[in-house]
Amino acid sequence: MKQEVEEQQDFVKEVTKMSDDFDRWYTDVVRKAELADWSGVRGMMVVRPYGWAMWEAIMRAFDDMIKESGHENWAFPLLIPREYLMKEAEHIEG
């Protein structure tokens, strides 16, 4: 119950003007349209049903374009372990 009240208070009441702050506008639109919401992990969002339906439509269209061009789909990790980044930092410093 408390979480529901907090979520309602955090709900976007007004959408920021795109010309004022594009990042805030985008987040406002995504949240107001209920496409995604914040998760318990900082910087990560949970994709809600309408957002997922849009994602599937985009994937279908894009998948057709990829395959028609003779290419293959690839998937890469969303989160990269810090030690991998540190290896690259040492490599770049040479």
State which amino acid sits at residue 40. Answer: G
Residues 79, 4: Cα–Cα separation, whole Å? 29
Of the chain, the percentage scoring pLDDT greater than 90 comes to 53
> Between the CA of residue 64 and those of 59, 67, 71, 76, what are the distances in Å?
8, 5, 10, 20
> Could you give the dihedral angle defined by the CA atoms of residues 11, 15, 20 and 25, in that order, rounded to the nearest 10 degrees?
70
What count of other Cβ atoms lies within 10 Å of the Cβ of residue 14? Answer: 7
Instruction: Collect all residues with Cβ–Cβ distance below 8 Å to 51 and sequence separation of at least 6.
Output: 30, 33, 34, 35, 36
Instruction: Collect all residues with Cβ–Cβ distance below 8 Å to 25 and sequence separation of at least 6.
Output: 15, 16, 17, 18
Predicted pLDDT at 81: 82
This prediction's pTM: 0.58
- At 84, the pLDDT band (50, 70, 90 cuts) reads confident
Q: Indicate the helix (H) or strand (E) that contains 65.
A: helix 49-68
Q: What is the mean pLDDT of the chain?
A: 84
